[in-house]
Structure 1
Amino acid sequence: MAVVISVANQKGGVGKTTLTLNLGYGLARAGKKVLLIDVDPQFNLTFGLIGMNVMKYETNNVGTLMTRESSVEDTIVEVSPNLHLIPSHLNLSAKEIEIINAYNRERRLVKAIAPVLPDYDYVLIDNPPSMGIFLVNSLTASDYVLIPLELSYFGVIGMQLMFNLMAMIRNETNENLTLMGLVPNKFTRQTKVPQTRLNELKEAYPNVPILTTIPKAIALEKAQGDGVSIFDYEPDGRAARAFEKLTKEVISIAEGG
């Protein structure tokens, strides 16, 4: 049965899509069967994986899946043999109102993907930077949450908002939801601020797992723009090594290694 992980932060621009995409490739390279789900109406993950082919999935995407207009089997797109995608689409925002007014709206995603969970080792969900019905559905469907954050004052505030939302989800729809860890992202040593914030974070939240730090790297943006993973774009670079280490950490936590 798949381990379901939401990559989430209510603050935008912290690297959720980059993390989801490259961790997905990392897990697939490690021999795991991976399903990526894009529940962000901006569909950056979908575009990064299949480019303009996103336009083909107007009637088979995460929105039509959650409104029960398409089946999960018909919605899954093969990116590579070990890596599959449930795409987002331009029409996802329009589906939001329909989902909000639907019966059992918080559980639409978990019920929709249940038939295929035995087929995968990992499901990674890329989320929008807002507390709405899509994020609530993702957290309700998930075993774990990964929170990418920039080491800035506002980045830490976004993390606290996520903690508050997770507590609410545990009380209302998913009592087993667990924080897998924080992933400090876009880390640079050019100034002392990121390291200072990281130290402050460890001091303020001593019991919160802090996973591999992902460096700020132009290669990550270029790789995503080219529709490839960092492992294909710059396999020997710092970012690829960091994602390889993060992949091993995730597997160790999820599988108890």
Structure 2
Amino acid sequence: MGTVISIANQKGGVGKTTIALNLGYSLSRLGKKVLLVDVDPQFNLTFALIGMDVVNYEDKNVGTLMTRESSVEDVLIEVEENLHLIPSHLTLSAKEIEIMNTYNRERRLEKALKPIFPDYDYIIIDNPPSMGIFLVNSLTASDYVLIPLELSYFGVIGMQLMFNLMSMIREETNEGLRLLGIVPNKFTKQTKVPQARLKELKELYPDAPILTTIPKAIAIEKAQAEGKSIFEYEPNGKASKAFEKLAREVISIVEGQ
């Protein structure tokens, strides 16, 4: 049975798509079968993986899946042998109202994905930077939450919003939801601010696991702009090594290896 991980933070610009993309690639390179699910109406993950082909999936995307206009088999895209995608689409925002008015709306994604849970080791969901029906669906369907965080003052303070949302989800729709960890992203040692914020984060949330720090690297941005993972763009760089370390850490926590 696949482990479902939501990459989530209600704050924008923290690198959710970058983490989802490169963690997915890294897990697949380690022999895991991975499904990436894009539930962000901005469809950045989808565009990074299939480029302008996104326009061909108006009738076969995560939105049509959640409204039951498509089956899960219809919407799957093979990116690589061990890496598949359920795409988003620019029409996804229009589906939000439709989903809001359906029965059992919080479980639409969970029910749609359930038939293929046994086919994957990891299902990673990239989420929008807002608390709406798509994020609620993702957290309801997930075993774990992985929270990317840029180490700014407002980023650290804003973590409480995510913890409050997770608490609400546990009470209402998914009592088994767990925090996999926080991933400090875009980290630089060139100033003392990120290091000070990291110390504050540990003091504010002593029980929250702090996972591998992902460095700020131009290569990550360039790779994503070219529709590549960091492993394809700069396989021996510090960012590639950080993502491989993160993937091994995730496997260790989830599988106890």
TM interval, shorter chain, is over 0.9
Taking the aligned partners of 2:216 and 2:5, their CA distance within structure 1 comes to 23
User: Which letter does structure 2 place at the counterpart of 1:141?
Assistant: A
User: Which letter does structure 2 place at the counterpart of 1:168?
Assistant: M
Residues 246-257 of structure 1: matches in 2 within 5 Å? 246-257=246-257
Secondary structure of the residue aligned to 2:158 is helix
- 1:207-228, CA deviations, whole angstroms, 9 ceiling, x for partnerless residues? 1100000000000000001111
- 1:99-151, CA deviations, whole angstroms, 9 ceiling, x for partnerless residues? 00110000000000000110000000000000000000000000000000001
Residue 228 of structure 2 is matched in structure 1 by 228
TM-score (norm. length: structure 2): 0.99
Residue 188 of structure 1 is matched in structure 2 by 188
Taking the aligned partners of 1:63 and 1:205, their CA distance within structure 2 comes to 35
Secondary structure of the residue aligned to 1:96 is helix
Residue 169 of structure 1 is matched in structure 2 by 169
1:9–1:158 contact (8 Å) kept in structure 2: no
Secondary structure of the residue aligned to 2:138 is helix
TM-score (norm. length: structure 1): 0.99
Residue 17 of structure 2 is matched in structure 1 by 17
Residue 95 of structure 1 is matched in structure 2 by 95
Q: How much has 1:250 moved relative to structure 2?
A: 0.4
Residue 104 of structure 2 is matched in structure 1 by 104
Q: How much has 1:256 moved relative to structure 2?
A: 1.3
Q: How much has 1:32 moved relative to structure 2?
A: 0.4
Q: How much has 1:200 moved relative to structure 2?
A: 1.1
Taking the aligned partners of 1:225 and 1:184, their CA distance within structure 2 comes to 22
Residue 37 of structure 2 is matched in structure 1 by 37
Fraction of identical pairs, as percent: 79
- The number of aligned residues is 257
Residue 149 of structure 2 is matched in structure 1 by 149
Taking the aligned partners of 2:231 and 2:73, their CA distance within structure 1 comes to 28
Secondary structure of the residue aligned to 2:27 is helix
Any unmatched runs of 5+ in structure 1?
Answer: none
Q: Which runs of structure 1 show a deviation greater than 3 angstroms over 4 or more consecutive aligned residues?
A: none
Secondary structure of the residue aligned to 1:160 is helix
Residues 189-204 of structure 1: matches in 2 within 5 Å? 189-204=189-204
Residue 73 of structure 2 is matched in structure 1 by 73
User: Which letter does structure 2 place at the counterpart of 1:253?
Assistant: I
Taking the aligned partners of 2:244 and 2:155, their CA distance within structure 1 comes to 24
Q: How much has 1:158 moved relative to structure 2?
A: 2.7
Taking the aligned partners of 2:177 and 2:157, their CA distance within structure 1 comes to 21
User: Which letter does structure 2 place at the counterpart of 1:122?
Assistant: Y
Taking the aligned partners of 2:64 and 2:237, their CA distance within structure 1 comes to 39
User: Which letter does structure 2 place at the counterpart of 1:247?
Assistant: A
User: Which letter does structure 1 place at the counterpart of 2:213?
Assistant: T
1:143–1:178 contact (8 Å) kept in structure 2: yes
Deviates more, 1:36-45 or 1:225-234: 225-234
Q: What RMSD over aligned residues (CA atoms) do the two structures have, in Å?
A: 0.5
Taking the aligned partners of 1:24 and 1:154, their CA distance within structure 2 comes to 28
Taking the aligned partners of 1:100 and 1:244, their CA distance within structure 2 comes to 38
Residue 215 of structure 1 is matched in structure 2 by 215
